[in-house]
Amino acid sequence: MSSIIKLKPVFKERIWGGTRLRDYFGYDIPSENTGECWAISALSSGDCEIEDGEFKGKTLSWLYKNHRELFGGIENPEFPLLVKLIDAADNLSIQVHPDDKYAREVEKQQFGKTEAWYIIEADEDTVLEIGHNANSKEELHDMIENKKFQKLLNYKPIKAGDFFYIPSGTVHAICKDTLIYEIQQSSDITYRLYDYDRLDKKTDKPRELHTSKSIDVITVPQKIDTTAIPTVEADEGHQKIVYIENEYFSTYKYDVKDKVKLLNESFLLCTVMEGSGSIGDKEIKKGDNFIVPAECKDMLVVGNISIMISTM
């Protein structure tokens, strides 16, 4: 295969969702409460369909199972990454995700969930909740059971262009008035420890909490610095901003004013954030999501365009 693989996004309605995925990216969303675009996903609950080309109509999970060579021959039994675009018109629950070991032993799933966020848009005075203030599991249990969340939780102001690393075991929540690009392990395991006592509009009942599992997996004390410091590589016609490189994923952004070659060692997961242009023989524009397969080593991007890229 000598071309990119374009994917159709999968949309998820959420109690906290809104319309920014339509307003910003131009997507045809299912409702006024659309919270998530699963832009590049092979999970069974949101398996993206290939839009055109040789494998048109097949799913990403099928492609990964049957054509592992397109992904550099990586050995993971399941496709390892998931790219989301998240519109938080209201606060998400205070939550935490397990690591791989806990996910396999308790949930019988391949991956836990370590993730990272790039802030696309945020209203003035918007914040995120990241981390906690408990010094022991006993103190954590007491604060959660007695709803001492004001004392437990840490909030920090954010702005467009910020990037945050959220390893498994980190208490966190995206807060209202935020549009986010998220790269994560391919997992949908979420444990809620607080949901503001709100009611689900469909059931008129509170959403399920997972207090015991949350306490099991929360890292205590919370030591890691979740604010990523990007590095900038500038050249004539483009700028590359590297946000993170670790054992789970690498994420960077190309701001192209003329052209640039995308270096590819295995495969690239790409989301067009702004502008339009071309890559190889394909036209691309804001809101497009595609994979550059392993055999496409030096694809030329031409145009006035910004692309978020994640890989292993």
Write out the catalytic residue numbers: 192
Distant-in-sequence, close-in-space partners of 276: CB < 8 Å, separation ≥ 6: 283, 284, 285, 286, 303, 304, 305
CB atoms within 10 A of CB 222: 18
Tokens representing residue 48 in the block? 């993206």
- In degrees and rounded to multiples of 5, residue 277 shows phi and psi of 170, -145
- Element at 139 (helix H, strand E): helix 137-145
R_g over Cα of the chain: 19
CA 133 – CA 142 distance, rounded (Å): 12
Q: What angle do CA 283, 287, 289 make, to 5 degrees?
A: 70
Return the H-helix or E-strand segment holding 216.
helix 211-217
Q: Which tokens in the block code for residue 236?
A: 């004539």
- Note whether 253 and 265 are within 8 A (CB): no
Measured distance CA(258)–CA(281) in Å, rounded = 16
CB 92 within 8 A of CB 115: no
Residues 238 and 307: their CA atoms lie apart, in Å, by 11
Using alpha carbons only, what angle is made at residue 23 by residues 21 and 26, rounded to the nearest 5 degrees?
Answer: 75
Q: Round to whole Å and give the CA distance between 267 and 147.
A: 44
Please give the C-alpha separations between residue 236 and each of 258, 260, 297, 299, in angstroms, as whole numbers. Answer: 8, 9, 21, 17
